[in-house]
Amino acid sequence: MEVQITSRKLIKPSVHTPPHLQILKLSILDQYPYYVPNIFYYTNANHEIESINTQKLVEQLEKSLLEVLTLFYPLAGRFIKDKLIVDCNDDGVEFLEAKADGDLTQILQQEPKPYELLRRLVPSLAESATSP
């Protein structure tokens, strides 16, 4: 299966984080970041989604994300590794849109699971001194 990222952008919260919430100190457990890639897959049970414009769905996801980031403001910030804090600066989260030339159902039904193939569906985390 070939996976191609067609769009990559930063989504920022719809409302700025208040000044008194802009620095989030990490707990002792949070100081050891552990990245867990996830794929959430939902089957099209009623087949109505095929008639819906994909671009409208993507726009709705983006709109929902920018509203949710207001409630979960640290997610739109940056991890400052040397200070062990999250700078809740509203820089945003990365939103990726991708296309695949296959059907995920076929992959999920294979035994044993082709984990190497599934890893291609999850973008790798680019770590830096101020990681998102």
| Tens of each residue's pLDDT in the chain, 132 residues | 677 788 888 899 989 999 999 999 988 887 776 767 777 766 666 666 565 677 888 888 899 998 999 999 998 999 888 898 999 999 998 888 877 777 777 777 777 777 777 777 776 666 555 556
Going from N- to C-terminal start, the domains of the chain cover: 3-131
Quick count: other Cβ atoms within 10 Å of Cβ 132?
A: 16
Beta strands (DSSP E) in 61-111 are 78-80, 85-87, 93-100
**Is the separation of the CB atoms in 10 and 66 below 8 Å?**
no
Exposure on the CB side of residue 28, measured as CA atoms within 13 A = 0
SS3 96: strand
Tell me the pTM: 0.69
Would you state the CATH architecture of domain 3-131?
A: 2-Layer Sandwich (3.30)
